[in-house]
Every structure is written in C-alpha cells, then in structure tokens.
Chains A and B, each alone.
Chain A
C-alpha cells in the first residue's frame, strides 16, 4: 500500500514537473516570437497606410491601433491576460479573430499532416523491418537508396513536385518525413538485432516473428516511441511549404501568411500553438515509455 502510494506520488510529481516545464517553454516561445517580430525592421509598416483613399485621420487611427504593440512586454502580458479569458486577439492581415482562424485551419493541418505522418511511418517501418528481418543486402540497399534520395530533396521541392504531378499534399509530407523515420528506426532495429541474447534466441531456433515481438520490440520500442514524438514536429514543419505551395488552407499556410505580413498577434499564437503541440507530442512519448517500462514487483 505504502509502495503504491509512493509510486503514485512519484508519478504525480514528475507529471507536474513536466507540465510546468511545458508551460514555461510555451510562454517563453511566445515571448521569443513576439520579441523577434517587434525588433524586426519595418515592424510599423502597414500597407493600408499607403492607400490614397484614406485621409490623415484614418492613417493616424491605423497607427494608433498598433501603438499598443510597441512595448513588447506590455503587449505580451496583455495578450496572456486576454488569452486567459478566451480572446486570442485579431489578425492584422486577415482582419479576423485569431481563434476562429485557428479553428478553421487546424483540422486541415491535422488531416494533411496526420495522414502524411501515418503513411511515412507505414512506409519506413515496412522497409526497416524488411531490411532487419530478412537481412539481405538487396533490401538494405533499396531502403537506404530510397531514403537517401528523399533526404537530399528539399521539402519545398517535394511540395512543388506534388503540385506538378497533381499528387495530394499528405503524400509530400509522407515523403519528407519518411527518410528520417527509416534511417533512425533501421539503426535502432539493427542495434537490437545485434544484441547477444537475440542472436542466441535465433540460434536456438526461435521464429522470426517471436524474436521480433518478444525480444526486439521491447528493446527498440522506447526509442521508436520517442521518435514518434519527434516526427510530429517534423511533420508540422513540413506542412509549411506543403500547404503554402499546394494552396492548402491549414496552419502551415497561415504561418506563412503571418510571417510575410508581420502579423504579431497571429505569429505569437501560432508559435505558442506549434510549441505546445511539439512539446505535448514529446511528453506524450515520454509518458507512454514510462508506462510501458517494466517495473520490479
């Protein structure tokens, strides 16, 4: 009973620490992006001020509207205060509440990046397991060549090629993420297969599937789960060129538009969102690993 209580206390404490670290990093990420935007040359420039149909008073009003963003710490504290009440501000460039923009765009990115990620994992795992299970040079060469070739092509080129070939955007994301998963998982599996107890299991005549399920996966699993967390961040990064060039109205395209139009509220919110998703994915992987870790009775 006491042991169980102690275990629960340890889990709660480490979870609280993890959540605290995530919150601190997310807040710092938002502040970092806000500071970068504020320090950028031409931060005050607003294309609408060049509109000849606006009179001096309207131009002054436009300038006034952005006056609150000059003190970056003041802006950020104000942003956090309204965020706590559910108001994420209004996009300067698109003239819409950030909250509704995120609500509209997020499902597109989740679908495109999610399907892309799933495809990438399926392809990479299939190739990595084939290379490690059957250990024939041809499989190894095939996987390495394919992944190496895609690793050499910039993400934006793959997005452009998907436009030219009328291929879906998720395929481009899959091809961007796949080589990274393949390289890492193949190395992890190869290292696991080289362990003495697995070689001994093979020598004793254990079937390949049984060796994989009972001996290889418990060794390679934690690292593969950690990799799964990291690939979420890679897929999110890849969604920027893919959505921008393929014309998909998702978070990636929004980030692209926000960066080009120096839209401070939108950029800060996107940085916070992207940082949060990345950290949650990594922490989720850590939690799964912790839960799967064998414990002494």
Chain B
C-alpha cells in the first residue's frame, strides 16, 4: 500500500470514527433548536454556526456523516447481493438465462441512473417518518444499483462456467445449487468485493443528489444530502464559508475513496 492509499485509509477511518462518536462529540442533538440563535455564525458554542431554525450545524454534520457513511455500505451490500444472484446465476446457467438477464440489465442501464432513482423515489411516500425515509432511500439505492455490477458478474460467471475446475466438478457428478454456491460463487469473490467497494462512493453521491432535490432523508434527520441542500440559500462564499464545510467533508471522503479504490476499479 503506497503512502497516498495509507493516508486515504486513515482519513476514511478517522471520519467514520468521529461520526460514530457523534453522541459524545456533538454539543447538542441534531434536532435541538436554539431558537434564540437562528442562522448564527460560528462561535465557541456552535463551532459551525446554526441553521435557519437554530440547529447546531456541527452536530448535524457529525450525525449526517454517520447516516451517509453507514447506510451507503448497507445499500452496496444489497446491490452486490442482487448482482451476484442475477448476474452470477445467469452467467453460471448460460444460454437463454444469460440472454434474458443481459436484456434486463441493458434495460436498466439504458435509463439514466438519476432519472430512474428520482422517478422511483418520488413514487414512494414522501411523508413518512424520518427513520423510514432513511431506509427507503438507501434500499432504493441498493435495489436499483445492481445492474452495472450484474453485467460484470455475468461475464465473469460465464467465463467460469466453462473453466476446467467446473467441468471437472460436473464430471464428478456435482451440479445445481451446490456447484454454484460451493465452486462458482467463491471464485467470483474478487469481483464481488470490487463491486461492493466501488458502489459505496456511488451511493454516497446518489444520496446527496436525492437529498438536494428534496427526495432523500426526511427532516429532522440529517444526511449529507440534506446538509448540502442548505447551499441553496447561500449568498456569498466568503461571508458564509462555514456552510461549505459539509461539501468539503464530502469531497475529502470521496477523494479518499477514489484513492483507496484505484485497485478495485482495475479488478472490476
């Protein structure tokens, strides 16, 4: 691991650790309103000032980071599992199943990802409890984000189907689910890991996009998307620099992920 990747790893781990310690580090809860100080600039009491309704921005950044960083991997897990099931199984079965799965995958890939995401998210109830909205948002990301991974996995599984060890296993009388789960799937592990890690930053960005468009996590729960939405009312960068902190944090984390994942991209 070179120095840049080590540094990126340290940054991601540090941000994760700080966000996990939000309960102790945050000066107040993410929903607590300081009504006497709405839209306040940074001070000793409020390190990043307060938002329009007087909520401590530093606390919201900490809790929002925790939500985005914990649930993006969960969504990546769902999408990778779906991709393994659809792409992996289709590649293993081959023939008509492979053609059907590729057609279905192509259909998903032919629609712009953001268009599909917005359409599906807007169709689900928007006036749900904050916790349900978090689950809906990230579940949608997981359920709609499998197509590209499935395409890669179907190709890898297709190549494995005719490999020597699978042919030998077949000749030994092994077939069906056992052959797939015991011999084929473990050999797809490197591609599966790569797809899982690559999906995380994609889902973080997708949640941020949805949040800015008002279709992400519901208030008062913070996420990077809802925090970035505050940029909408910004007048001047110089006078309100502290409002850019969530964006800077997002850029730092995403850059770290990019640096960390350069090898995984090659595997995928």
Number of interface residues of A (CB under 8 A): 48
Of the candidates A164, A236, A256, the one whose C-beta lies within 8 Å of that of B234 is A164
Contacts of A278 in B (CB 8 A): 110-112
Indicate whether A16 reaches chain B with its CB closer than 8 angstroms.
no
Q: Are A259 and B255 in contact (CB under 8 A)?
A: no
Minimum distance in angstroms from B161 CB to a CB of chain A: 24
Contacts of A157 in B (CB 8 A): 208, 212, 228, 231, 247
Indicate whether B135 reaches chain A with its CB closer than 8 angstroms.
no
Indicate whether A279 reaches chain B with its CB closer than 8 angstroms.
yes
Q: Are A255 and B125 in contact (CB under 8 A)?
A: no
Q: Are B111 and A274 in contact (CB under 8 A)?
A: yes
Q: What does the 1/0 interface line of B2-34 toward A look like (CB < 8 Å)?
A: 000000000000000000000000000000000
Contacts of B52 in A (CB 8 A): none
Q: A160-B232, A271-B111 are in contact. Are A151 and B258 (CB under 8 A)?
A: yes
Q: Are A241 and B111 in contact (CB under 8 A)?
A: no
Q: Are A267 and B119 in contact (CB under 8 A)?
A: yes
Q: Are A255 and B212 in contact (CB under 8 A)?
A: no
Q: Are A156 and B120 in contact (CB under 8 A)?
A: no
Q: Are B213 and A36 in contact (CB under 8 A)?
A: no
Minimum distance in angstroms from A135 CB to a CB of chain B: 20
Minimum distance in angstroms from B84 CB to a CB of chain A: 22
Q: How far is the CA of A274 from the CA of B115 in the complex (A)?
A: 9
* Segment of A2-10, A37-45, A72-80, A81-89 in the binding face: A37-45
Contacts of B107 in A (CB 8 A): 25, 28-29, 32, 275
Q: A36-B123, A37-B123, A259-B119 are in contact. Are A237 and B113 (CB under 8 A)?
A: yes
| B: contact size bracket | 35 or more
Give the interface centre of A24, A156, A244 by most chain B CB atoms within 10 Å.
A156
The residues in A between 123 and 165 inclusive whose CB is less than 8 angstroms from any CB of B are: 148-149, 151-157, 160-161, 163-164
What is the chain B residue whose CB lies nearest that of A256? B118
Q: How far is the CA of A240 from the CA of B210 in the complex (A)?
A: 11
Q: Are A279 and B208 in contact (CB under 8 A)?
A: no
Contacts of B106 in A (CB 8 A): 25
The residues in B between 219 and 268 inclusive whose CB is less than 8 angstroms from any CB of A are: 225, 228, 231-232, 234-235, 237, 247, 250-251, 254-255, 258
Of the candidates B112, B119, B120, B228, the one whose C-beta lies within 8 Å of that of A154 is B228
Q: Are A236 and B112 in contact (CB under 8 A)?
A: yes
Of the candidates A33, A40, A238, A270, the one whose C-beta lies within 8 Å of that of B114 is A238
Indicate whether A260 reaches chain B with its CB closer than 8 angstroms.
yes
Q: A25-B106, A255-B115, A279-B110 are in contact. Are A154 and B212 (CB under 8 A)?
A: yes
Indicate whether B122 reaches chain A with its CB closer than 8 angstroms.
yes
Q: A29-B111, A234-B112 are in contact. Are A241 and B125 (CB under 8 A)?
A: no
Q: Are A255 and B118 in contact (CB under 8 A)?
A: yes
Q: A151-B258, A152-B251 are in contact. Are A36 and B119 (CB under 8 A)?
A: yes
Q: A41-B124, A42-B125, A259-B123 are in contact. Are A154 and B115 (CB under 8 A)?
A: no
- Beyond the given A259-B123, A260-B122, please list 13 additional residue pairs across the A-B interface where CB-CB is below 8 A: A37-B123, A41-B124, A151-B258, A156-B228, A161-B231, A164-B234, A164-B235, A237-B115, A240-B118, A241-B209, A244-B213, A245-B213, A275-B111
Q: Which residues of B contact A (CB under 8 A)?
A: 103, 106-107, 110-115, 118-125, 205, 208-209, 212-213, 225, 228, 231-232, 234-235, 237, 247, 250-251, 254-255, 258
Q: Which residues of A contact B (CB under 8 A)?
A: 24-25, 28-29, 32-33, 36-37, 40-43, 148-149, 151-157, 160-161, 163-164, 233-234, 236-238, 240-241, 244-245, 255-256, 258-260, 262, 267, 270-271, 274-275, 278-279, 282
Offer 5 A-B interface pairs, CB within 8 angstroms, sorted by A: A25-B103, A148-B258, A152-B254, A155-B209, A259-B119
